[in-house]
A and B are shown apart, each in its own frame.
Chain A
Amino acid sequence: MINIVNLHAEVEEKKILKGLNLNVKAGEIHAIMGPNGSGKSTLASILAGKEDYTVTAGNVEFDGKDLLELSTEDRARQGLFLAFQYPIEIPGVSNVNFLKSALNEIREYRGEEQISAKDFLALVKEKSALVELDSKLASRSVNEGFSGGEKKRNEIFQMAMLNPKLAILDETDSGLDIDALRIVANGVNKLRSPKNAAIIITHYQRLLDYIIPDFVHVLYDGRIVKSGGKELALELEEKGYDWIKEELASNAE
């Protein structure tokens, strides 16, 4: 699905990613954990195409295409979805109207027919129920006046509407109470299939009780320094990150 090889990136000449490797296959869920400032959100932003970052080395292959050569919108049209850590409020732009335009632009790109108004409404109804998002919220201005939990649920609602091949969830669990967390996780699990994949970036092991990852990686100082199964998340929760730092230091000696 996505193969990231030796990715180096910087912002304003500050090196953030320093040779990151990650290979995600269809059907897999990968969790990326790591202390603050290790480069987790930078990775998500770069994959989605945010122009604030400069990739200085490495490459990313997504579904057979050179991802870094594609514009942000073409990445989305190829099936990449980023659930934002801080979803943006866009006053006056209706959530469902823009999703309809987005869906149709994606379909046009893929040479598919436009979605009918009837089918679209049915899709909105089905997918908003999935994340228990009030249909009134779904048709309001994008994220305007939404609570933190509503914003995150709206991200998963949009993800469900667009049905991506690869979903990247950037700290979608941060700031969620337990009910909202369960709803979000439930949405993600229902969308899980052998054809798609997800990268879940998180601080906390808690989310991984609900979304069981196939692999857990530790991102530290711009590289993935340790990988394991779901039990690695539990270990990190219990022991923090210091033991990994120590391990790295002793390996370097």
Chain B
Amino acid sequence: MENISKIQAFASKFKETNLAFTPTSIADAKNTLLHLDFPTTKTEFWKYTRLAKLAQLRLNQEKIRENEQVVAPLTDNGIVRITNGYITSFSKEIAGLTITPFSKCSEQQLSLIGKKADLKQNIFLALNTLYSQEGLFIEVEENAQIEGVFQLLFHAHGENCFAPFRVFIHVKKGSAFKLIQQFTASGEHLFSLPIVEYLVEENARISCDKLQMENASSFLLCEDYSIQKRNSTVLLNTFSISGAWVRNNSSFLIEGENCETNLNGAYLLKDLQHLDNHTIVDHIAPHCNSNELYKGILSGKSTGVFNGKVFVRPNAQKISAFQSNANVLLSDDASVNSKPELEIYANDVKCSHGSTTGQLDENAVFYLRARGLSEKSARSLITQAFIAEVVDKVEQKEVRDFIKNKLVELHDWTN
């Protein structure tokens, strides 16, 4: 019998896409899966996140007719439900917004997809490209200010299911768009692979909150690719609330001048959870600001990774780029690997990065107890305050409240 690679065995039951991606991207994806395998921890990009358990799974792509109504939307604005990688419920019409499934997109529209992503080096991007059965093309009309928050509810359900999905969001000139992406799972051995691309045109603005709330046997790998034109603003907040294994690869290319880019993340890990945040912020143009704030609280035997890379290219003068990662370890068995990186090739820039990992401030706990608060209340107040700095970056109050309540419930905090 022919020797096949782990990735080929992994993908053996998957169905090739019928979507009209460009022939080169399909060929590149096939080629990547033929020549590359699952990366090991010897690869720098995967140093602290093991793929062995995922690679062992034998998954199917299973279409489910109805979305389990386990996921309640946060607001009643536009909602698209995506279950196991298939669209299961479609949004109502919203003025200024055109939402088209990939299967109904023109080749010209689909040709925009995957432009800046390196298909030849990334097996997960290749898996997503070759096996996504559907995708969503969202266009925000020029100068349209979309009211309320649009929601994408990703749900994985069943046993041994693979759920790849692709989203392309074209935020046209002068428009503004607010989005929530919610990720949930019910069942066992589920692997969700949603990849979202953002093309943010001149003077446009997008804010996006990712709420990752999968279950204790699920795998979630999110990739985000953003390209910004001049005077545009991007805000991405990622909250990793539950889920056994989560990896986020977020990549931001800042092509135009005078852009604002804000990335924030909070992760609260317990038991055996593993979370890895990899971010890349690539400053090409001058006069831009980027801010990155990631904070984590780890208990039990959980493990966390932060790797944030900021490039400042030779032409990117007068930019400022800040990056910070702070962690609190609540148990002896929890651990975190944090690596903020800066590569600067311009000479007139303001940049800083920092990383801290410590324990709860016992003097603060004592101070609050000396005022009559129980030890549990004191610890929970300080922990919540630590994370609140990130939660407060969320623009919508209903989303902030949802996150706070969810965390209080999951971590048995006093409110």
Contact = CB atoms under 8 A, between A and B. Distances in A.
Interface string A38-54: 00000000001111000
Nearest to B375: A73
A102 B369 CA distance: 8
B353 to A, nearest CB: 20
Contacts of A48: 370
B415 to A, nearest CB: 9
B369 A73 contact: yes
Q: Lowest 10 A-B CB distances belong to which pairs?
A: A92-B385, A76-B372, A72-B369, A102-B372, A106-B372, A88-B367, A102-B371, A93-B385, A73-B369, A90-B364
Contacts of A103: 372
B69 interface: no
Contacts of A49: 369-370
Given A105-B377, A162-B372, A72 B366 contact: yes
B373 interface: yes
9 contacts: A76-B371, A88-B361, A88-B364, A90-B361, A98-B373, A101-B381, A103-B372, A158-B371, A162-B371
Contact of B388 (A87, A92, A102): A92
B385 A90 contact: yes
A82 interface: yes
A93 B381 contact: yes
Interface size class of A (residues with CB under 8 A): 20 to 34
Contacts of B372: 73, 76-77, 102-103, 105-106, 109, 162
Interface in B389-403: 389
A87 B367 contact: yes
Given A91-B385, A92-B385, A73 B374 contact: yes
Given A88-B363, A92-B389, A101 B370 contact: no
Given A90-B382, A91-B385, A93-B382, A98 B371 contact: yes
B386 interface: yes
Contacts of A93: 364, 368, 381-382, 385
A71 interface: yes
A93 B363 CA distance: 14
B382 A105 contact: no
Contact of A84 (B367, B378, B414): B367
Given A88-B361, A88-B363, A92-B389, A72 B381 contact: no
Interface in B125-181: none
Interface string A17-52: 000000000000000000000000000000011110
Contacts of B385: 90-93, 141
A98 B370 contact: no
A102 B373 contact: yes
Interface in B261-284: none
A77 B382 CA distance: 20
Interface in A75-114: 75-77, 81-82, 84, 87-88, 90-93, 98-99, 101-103, 105-106, 109
